[in-house]
Structure 1
Amino acid sequence: MNHRLRRFFQRKFVQDTLALQVSKLGITGLSFVSSIIITRLMGDTAFGTWGLVQALFLLVQALNLTGIGTSTVSRLAVAVGARNESEILDLMAYYVRVLLLWSLVSIVGLALAGPPLARLMYEGDAHIGMLSALYSLTIPADGIYGLVVIALQSRRSMREVAVLQNANQVVLVVCALAALAISPTADAIVIGRLAYSYLTMALGLGVYWRLRVGERGTYPPFRDVLRRARTVPLGSYWRFGVANALDKNFALIYTQLPMTLVGAVWGKEAAGHLNLALTALGRLSFFTSAIYDNMQAVVPQAVGRGDFVGLRRNFLRALAALTVSGTGFFLALAIIAPLVVPPIYGDEWLPAIPLIQALCIYGAVTTAGGIFGPLYRAFEQMRAALAAKIAATVIMLPLGVALVMGSGALGGAWMINGMYGLSIAFTAVFTLRALYSKAGSRREVREGNQAEIEISD
C-alpha cells in the first residue's frame, strides 16, 4: 500500500497538480484578505466607483473575439510536445501581434468613447470613462505576463508557474495597498493597478529569460518573438482563436440566459437567489481548477508527441476519477446545504437552498466534463464543439422557458443543468470517438505491444 502511494505521488502529473493546488491556496488567501482590507479602506462610494470603472472596461473586453489565450494554450503545448521550434516561434509571435492590435483598439476606443459613454450611463459622470481608458493601459502588460505563464504551463514547468503566480499576487496586494495608503480613491487604485501590471510583466520576462531553455523544450529569445510578430501570418491561427472565443462565451450563455429569464419573469429577488447558488458552486471550482490547468498542458503535449495510446489510458483514468469524486462531493454538498447556508448567509437566503441542491447536478457534470475542453481543442474539433453547444441550447431553450415560467428560480437551475448536461454528453461522443480512433482498437494496441516485445527479444 505504501509502495503504491509512493509511486502515485512520484508521478509528475500528481506533483504538478499538488504544486498548483498549493499555489491556489496561497493566491486565494491573499486575495480574500486583501479584498476585505481594500473594501474597508475605500468605503462604499469609492469602491462603487472602482466597480463601475471595471464594469465599463470589461464591457469593452467582452467584444474581444480573438481567443488568443485558450487557443495558444492548446497549440503551444502541441508544438512543445512535437519539439517544433518554428511553430513555437510563430505561435508566440501571433499572440504578441494580436495582443498589441487589440490593446491599441481598446485603448483608443475607451479614450474616445469611454467618457461620453460613462456620462450617458452614470448620470453625467465622465470621470469613470476616463479612468476606464487609463485602466486599459494594463492590457498589453497583462497579456505579456500571461504569455509567460502559458509558455511555462505548455512545457509543464508547474512549480515555476506556482511560484510566479504567488509572486504576482503579492505584487498586486502591495501595489493596491500602497496606492490606497496615499489616497483611498478609485483614481489611486487604477494607478496602483497600472504599476502592478508593468512590474509583473517585468517579473515575467525575467523568469522567461532565465527558464526559456529547459529539458522539455527551448523557447526563442523574446526579441525574436517581437521581430517575428511583425510578419507572422494570421491565417488558421485567427480562425482557431475566434472559434475558441465563441466556445468560451457559451459558458456565459448557459448561466446568464436562465438568470435573465428568471429576473424578467419572477423579479430581482428570485434572480438573486439563483445568483447566490451559482456563486457558491463557482467558488467550489477552486478544488478542481489545478487539475484542469494541468490537463491544459498534458493533453496537447501528448497529441504533439503522437502518444494517443497513453493519452487514452490516462484521460479515461482522469475522467473516471473526476466522475466518482465529483459525484460524491456534490452529493455531500446537497445533503449539508440546509445546515451551512443559514449560518453563513442568513435566514433570508433560505430559498437558495433548493437551488444549490439542484445545481449540484451541474457541479458534478462540469467537474467530470471540464476535461473534454483540452481534448477537443488539441484535436482542433472546434466546429463539432460549437455544434454540440448550439444543439444543447436549441433543445433546452423551449424546455427551459417552460421550466422558468412554471417553477421560477428552481426552473432556471434545472435549465442550467439541462444545457450543461446535454452539451457535455454531445461533446463526449465526438471527442471520445476521435480519441479511440487515433489510439486504435484495444486489439491493435495489444498487437502493437506484442510486436515491440518480439522485436526487443
Structure 2
Amino acid sequence: MSLKSQAVSGVKWSGASMGVMTALQFVTLAVLARLLSPSDFGLMGMIMVVVGFAQAFADMGISNAIIHRQDATRNQLSSLYWLNIIAGIITFCVICASAPLVVEFYHEPRLHNLLYLTAAIFLITPFGQQFQILMQKKLRFNELAKIEIATSIVNSVVAIVLAFSGFGVYSLIWGQLAGTSTKVLMLFSTGWRNWRPGFHFSRHDLSNYLSFGLYQMGERSINYLNSNIDYLLIGSMLGAKSLGYYTLAYNLIIRPSIMINPVITKVAFPVFSRVQNETDRLKRGYLKVLQLLSTVNLPMMIGLAVIAPIAVPVIFGEQWLPSIILIQILTIVGLLRSTASIVGSLLMAKGRADLGFKWNLVLTITQIPGLYLGIKLGGMVGVAIAYAILQCIYAIFNYLVLIRILLGPCLREYIQRMWPSLWTSGAMAIAVLFSGIFLQNMPYLPLLIIQILCGAAVYIGLMMYSQKMFVNEIKDMIFNEGVTVAK
C-alpha cells in the first residue's frame, strides 16, 4: 500500500475511532455530571494533572523517537521495551512517595488514597506501550481504532456503574484502571503476533533514542505543565469545587479538540517523518492538515459557546450553571490551541524537539504570572480571561518563531486555509442566536435540538456552496482514498 493510501486509511480509521469515543465520552460526562458533585470532578482534575505530568517522564520521549527513526533493530526495541517497564515502576514509586506533597499543595487530604490507586496505571501501561507505537509507526490504525473504542467503552461502563453504586470520585479512577487494563491486554495480544521483545537489555542500544527522547520528554513535560497551570492554580487557590466547574468547561470546549486532533496528528507525524527533507511537500501537507482541523474544530467550538446557556442546564443539570461563562471564554483558547497543535508533528518530523522544548519553556515562564494575576483579580473567570489573552499572543509568535522557521514564510496561505471555516462558523453562530431569540418561549430541550440542527444545516450548507473543491476532497478521502496530508 502506498504512503498516500496508508495515510488516508489511517485518518479514516482514527476518525471513526475518535468519533465513537468522543460521542461516548460526552454521554458518559453527561451521566456522571448528574451523579457526581463538582467537588468530585475537581478532585479528579487534581489527580489527572499529576498523572499526566508523570506520563511525560515515564515515556521519556522514546515513543516518538521510535517513530522518527527508521532503522530500529530488534535488540534496540527490546532494550527500549524493558526500559519502559522500569520507568513505569519508578514513576509509580515517585507518585506514591510524593503524595503527601501533592496533598499539602492542594490542601486536600482526600487525595492521599486517590493518588495511590491512580498511580497503579504506571504499572500497567508500559506492557502495551511499545506495541502501540510500532502499530502507529506502521500506520495500522484500523487495529488501533478497535482497541481505543473497546477501551473507551470499558472505561465508561465501569465508571457509570460504580457512580450509580455510590463510589463517588473512586468510580472515575476505577473506570480509568479498567480501561487501561483492557487496552494493554488488547495491545499485547495484537502486537505479540508481529513483534516480541527479547530478554535483552543494553545501554548501548538506548543512546541514540534517548538523545532524541530526552528533548522530547522535556518538551512534553513543559508543554503539559503550561497546559495545566490553570488546573494547578485553581485547585490550590480556589479548591476542588471551583476546579470542578472549570473541569467541566474545559472538557466540553477543549477536550474534544484534544481527542479529535490526534486523528490527524497521529497519522501526520509518521507521514511527515517520511518526507522530512522535502520542505515544499511538508508545507503542502501542513496547510492541508491546518484546513482540515479548522473545518472540524471551529464550528464545533463556536457552536458550543453559543448554545452553552441552554445546553448546560439541560444536559448536565442546574448545579453546573457557573461553568457557562467559562465555556464561552475558553472557546478562544480552544480555537487557537486546536490550530496550533499540528506544529508539534512538524517539530518531531524535522527532528527539532529541542526547538519545541525551548518554545514550551518560554510559554510556561510567561504563563504562570499571567494566570496567577488572572485568578487573583477575577477567580475562575479571571483565569479563563487571562488564558484567552495569552493564547492570542502565543498564536502570533507561534507563526513567527516556529512555523516560519520550519516551513518558510506562509502567512498568506495560512490565513487562506483558515478563512473559509472562520466566516462560515460566524454565520452559523448568528443563525443559532437568532433562532434562540425567535423561539425563546419554547421549552429548553426542543429549543436546544432546533438550534443544533439549524447550526449544522447553515454550516454544512455554506461549506458545500463556498468550498466545493475542499468538501469533495474530504469526501474522496473518506470514500475513495483520494487525498492525503502528504499529497
Q: CA deviation at 1:248?
A: 2.6
Q: 1:93/1:264 Cα in 2 relative to 1: closer, same or farther (>3 Å)?
A: closer
Kindly report which structure 2 residues correspond to 1:53-64, keeping only aligned pairs within 5 A, or say none: 59=50, 62-63=53-54
Residue equivalent to 2:149: 166
Q: 2:265 aligns with which of 292, 311, 334?
A: 292
| Contact kept in structure 2, 1:388 and 1:423, CA below 8 Å | no
Counterpart of 2:328 in structure 1 is 357
Tell me the SS of whatever aligns to 2:57: coil
Amino acid at match of 1:165: E
Does 2:213 match 1:241?
A: yes
Residue 159 of structure 1 deviates from its aligned partner by 1.1
User: Given residue 290 of structure 2, which amino acid in structure 1 is its aligned partner?
Assistant: L
**Counterparts in 2 of 1:186 and 1:302: CA distance versus 1, 3 Å:** same
Q: TM-score, normalised by structure 2?
A: 0.64
Q: Which residue of 1 aligns with 2:187?
A: 204
TM-score, normalised with respect to structure 1 = 0.67
Task: Show the counterpart of 2:230.
Answer: 258
Q: What is the aligned partner in structure 2 of residue 383 from structure 1?
A: 354
Residue 444 of structure 1: aligned partner: none
Q: Residues 279, 372 of structure 1: CA spacing in aligned structure 2 closer, same or farther, 3 A cutoff?
A: same
Check 1:36–1:94 CA distance in 2 against 1; reply closer, same or farther (3 A cut).
Answer: farther
Is the counterpart of residue 22 in structure 1 residue 16 in structure 2? yes
CA distance in 1, matches of 2:311, 2:48: 36
The structural deviation recorded for 1:205 is: 3.5
Q: Pick closer, same or farther for the CA change 1:413–1:75 going to 2, 3 Å.
A: same
Length, aligned pairs only: 403
Shift of 1:360: 0.9
The Cα shift of 1:372 comes to: 0.6
User: Residue 222 of structure 1 aligns to a residue in which SS?
Assistant: coil
Give, in angstroms, the shift of residue 374 of structure 1.
1.2
Conserved 8 A contact 1:66-1:242 = no
Contact 2:47 2:111 in 1 (8 A): no
Q: Given the superposition, is the C-alpha separation of residues 137 and 395 from structure 1 closer, same or farther in structure 2, using an over 3 Å criterion?
A: closer
Query: Cα distance, 1:244 vs. partner?
Result: 2.6
Q: Deviations over 1:56-92 (max 9, x none)?
A: 79857844653637x3343323334xxx243x753x3
Distance 1:144 1:38 in 2: 30
How has the CA–CA distance of structure 1 residues 317 and 67 changed in structure 2, closer, same or farther, with 3 Å as cutoff? farther
Counterpart amino acid of residue 7 in structure 2:
F
> d(CA) in 2 for partners of 1:179 and 1:423?
41
2:33 and 2:305 mapped to 1: Cα distance?
32
- The structural deviation recorded for 1:289 is 3.5
Structure 2: runs of 5+ lacking an equivalent: 411-487
Alpha-carbon distance change, 407 to 35 in structure 1, aligned in 2, over 3 angstroms: closer
Contact 1:393 1:419 in 2 (8 A): no
Task: Give 1:399-418 correspondences, 5 Å limit.
Answer: 399-418=370-389
Please state how far the C-alpha of 1:348 moved relative to its aligned partner: 4.8
1:363 is displaced (CA, Å) by 0.9
1:330–1:360 Cα contact (<8 Å) kept: yes
Greater relative contact order (CA < 8 Å, ≥ 6 in sequence): 2
Structure with larger Rg: 1
Q: Percent of counterpart pairs with the same letter?
A: 19
Which residue is 1:99 aligned to? 84
Equivalence for 1:451: none
Question: Offset of 1:358 from its aligned partner?
Answer: 1.6
Aligned residues of 2:215 and 2:353 also touching (Cα < 8 A) = yes
* Contact 1:138-1:194 within 8 A present in 2 as well: yes
Cα RMSD (Å): 5.0
**Aligned-partner SS, 2:351:** coil
Cα distance in 2 for partners of 1:39, 1:396 equals 30
Structure 2 residue aligned with 1:331: 302
Question: CA separation of 1:34/1:156 partners in 2, compared to 1, >3 Å: closer, same or farther?
Answer: same
Distance 1:27 1:132, change over 3 A: same
Q: Distance in 2 between matches of 1:277 and 1:173?
A: 19
CA distance in 1, matches of 2:328, 2:248: 12
CA distance in 2, matches of 1:190, 1:284: 20
